[in-house]
Structure 1
Amino acid sequence: MKYLIWIFFIASMGSIIAGFSAPEENNETLIGLGVVGLFIIVFPLFTWYRWKDRDIKDYMLTKENLDKMRDNQKSNKKDKNK
C-alpha cells in the first residue's frame, strides 16, 4: 500500500510540474489533474493507511483520557521537584 501511495503521489506531482512547463493549451488541465489526484486519491489513501490499526477512542477527549492527562501532569510535576 505504501508503494501505491508513493506512485500516485509522484504521478500527481509530475502532472503538476508538467503543467507548469507544458504549452498553454494543456497546462491548466495537467495542473488540475495533479491537484485532484492529490486530494481525491493520495490524501485519503495516506490517511487510511496511517490510521487503519489505531483506535479513535485513544485520541478523543473523554473523561477517562482527561483524568489520565491530569495524573500524568501531576506525576511530571512531582518528578521535576525531586
Structure 2
Amino acid sequence: MKYIITVILIAILGGLGYGFYVKSSGNPKADVVIGICVLAIAFIFMPLFIYHRYKNKNIEDFKFDNYRKDLEEHLEKEKKKDG
C-alpha cells in the first residue's frame, strides 16, 4: 500500500507540473490537466492515505469522551490545588 500511495503521489505531482508547464506556454487544455490532478488528490490520494495511516489504530482513542474525562480530572486537580 505504501508503494502504491507513493506512485500515485509522484504521478499526481508530475501531472501538476506538466499542467503548469503547458499552461505557461498558453495551451487552454492545461486547466483540464490541473483540474484532473486536483480531483485525483481529493478523491483518490487522500482517502487512500487516510485509510493507510489509520487502518490499525484504535478509533476509541480519538473519541471526545476520553478527552472530556481527562479535562474534568484536570479541572478537579486544579480546583484542589487552588482551593
TM-score (ref. length: structure 1) = 0.74
- What's 2:38 paired with? 35
2:61 to 37, 58, 62: 58
Contact preservation (8 Å) 1:12, 1:33: no
Runs of 4+ in 1 over 3 A off after TM superposition: 68-74
- Given the superposition, is the C-alpha separation of residues 7 and 61 from structure 1 closer, same or farther in structure 2, using an over 3 Å criterion? same
Structure 1: which 5+ residue stretches go unaligned? 75-82
- CA deviation digits over 1:37-72, x for unaligned, max 9? 11111100000000111121111111xx23345557
- Given the superposition, is the C-alpha separation of residues 14 and 47 from structure 1 closer, same or farther in structure 2, using an over 3 Å criterion? same
- What's 2:19 paired with? 19
Structure 2: which 5+ residue stretches go unaligned? 78-83
Question: Among the aligned pairs, what percent are the same residue?
Answer: 31
- CA deviation digits over 1:7-66, x for unaligned, max 9? 11111111111111114132111101111111111100000000111121111111xx23
- What's 1:77 paired with? none
Matched, 1:44 2:47: yes
Q: Root-mean-square deviation (CA), in Å?
A: 2.1
Contact preservation (8 Å) 1:5, 1:45: yes
Q: How many residues align?
A: 74
